[in-house]
Amino acid sequence: MNHWRLEQPATAHPEIATMLATMIDGTREWVEELEDITDEFLTWRPYPGGYCAGGLLMHMISCDRLWIDKGILNQTPDPTDPAMIYDQLDSQSGGTWPDPPAESWDWYWALFQKHRAKTIEQLSQIEDPSKVVGSNGKSDYSLAWIVAHLVQHDSYHGGQIVMLNQMWKKSKPISTW
The string of DSSP letters for 42-91 reads: HH--SSTT---HHHHHHHHHHHHHIIIIIIIT-----TTSHHHHHHHH-B
Beta partners for residue 134, in sequence order: 141
In the chain, what are the domains? 14-170 (1.20.120.450)
pLDDT value for 63: 95
Q: pLDDT tens digit string along 104-161?
A: 999 999 999 999 999 999 999 999 999 999 888 899 999 999 999 999 999 999 999 9
Confidence of residue 173 (pLDDT cuts 50, 70, 90): low
What share of the chain has pLDDT > 90, as a percent?
A: 76
Contacts of 167 (CB under 8 A, 6+ apart): 46
Residue 177 has pLDDT above 50, yes or no: no
Looking at every residue in the chain, the average pLDDT score rounds to: 91
Q: What is the 3-state secondary structure (H, E, C) of 107-146?
A: HHHHHHHHHHHHHHHHHCCCCCCCCEEEECCCCEEEHHHH
User: Which residue(s) pair with 96 in the sheet?
Assistant: 91
pLDDT score for 161: 98
Q: Kindly give, in sequence order, each residue whose CB lies less than 8 Å from that of residue 132, ignoring residues fewer than 6 positions away.
A: 140, 141, 142
Instruction: Enumerate the β-bridge partners of residue 142.
Output: 132
pLDDT confidence of residue 93: 65
**Beta-bridge mates of residue 132:** 142
